[in-house]
Structure 1
Amino acid sequence: MVARRVSYDAPELAELLADLRVEYATRYARDTANTTLTEVPPTDFVQPHGTFVVLVRSGRTLAGGAIRRLDASTAEIKRVWTTSEVRRQGFGRRVIDELELAASDLGYTRIFLSTGPRQPEARALYLAAGYSPGFDLDAAPEAIGRHVFTKTLRQTSSAHGAA
């Protein structure tokens, strides 16, 4: 398994993002800017402010995600996804770890992310990865709406300063 940082128009992303659109449309049963992945411009994921990370095995992209600039010290995680055949095998966690490393390398010190109420797997992943919820964990997911999380990044020796 190889982790790569790629641009938003990289061929490795096409199938991954197409699958993500189908999943969102199925779970939420409606087309919105979020379910069609059009809520932010693709250029938000361009370095030096953002990037995509993909996990590739035998030439096939199996998982990925992205970061983009939220503010000078905060990156936002978007588009975390694993293909169905590798779920529950640690790929999502590896994507999160690689995105955190990329964010740190780009000079960010904090991560923000959100997920929808119909994505309990994502909620569990972010909690397990040490993210702090900005909502009541005991409330009904649909009553909360958007599930917001934050995390302060550990600084690595490869960080290049503020983004």
Structure 2
Amino acid sequence: MCRRRGCFIVLEREGEIIATGAYKPKDRHTAEIKRIWTHRRLRQQGLAAKVVQELERRAVLAGYSHIYLTTGFRQPEAVKLYLSQGYEAQFDLTRDPEEYSQPPYDGRLRFTKALAVSAYSHSA
């Protein structure tokens, strides 16, 4: 069970860890997603999307209404994943991501999402 102080999800198949993800509190209303990972052999199969969706569901059940996350400027697959899940980029998508590795930036690409609380209100 996940709580307001955080959540860590592990997907297993035949005893092998195949995907993980977590959230932690960022502020009173916002959970921060961290550590989305998928086994190298199983990428591009929708596992990361399932982890993100489950983290969102559990964050709503824990009382959060927003999600925040960051990814690196050299992770185009992650950018594509978050955009496909309805996240809003807090940076200019038309710029070369490499630009965000230079000052005044820190190399992190930020995303936010308002959660559809009513969509999860009756889930267990």
- TM class by shorter chain equals 0.7 to 0.9
2:59 counterpart of 1:59: no
User: How many Å separate the matches in 1 of 2:21 and 2:111?
Assistant: 16
- Partner residue in 2 for 1:117: 73
Instruction: State TM-score, norm by structure 1.
Output: 0.67
Match of 1:153 in 2: 115
The TM-score, its normalising length taken from structure 2, stands at 0.87
Deviation at 1:48, TM superposition (A): 3.3
Structure 2: 5+ residue stretches without partners: 101-106
Identity %: 47
**Letter aligned with residue 107 of structure 1:** G
Alpha-carbon deviations, 1:68-112, whole Å to 9, x = none?
000000000000000011100000100110110111111100000
Runs of 4+ deviating beyond 3 Å: none
* Paired position in structure 1 for 2:41: 85
- 1:1-44, CA deviations, whole angstroms, 9 ceiling, x for partnerless residues? xxxx68xxxxxxxxxxxxxxxxxxxxxxxxxxxxxxxxxxxxxx
Task: Note the aligned Cα RMSD (angstroms).
Answer: 1.5
Moved more, 109-118 or 50-59: 50-59
- In structure 2, the partner of 1:71 is 27
> What is the aligned length?
115
Does residue 99 of structure 2 align to residue 134 of structure 1? no
- 1:126-153 CA distances to partner (integer Å, 9 max, x unpaired)? 0011000000001111112211000011
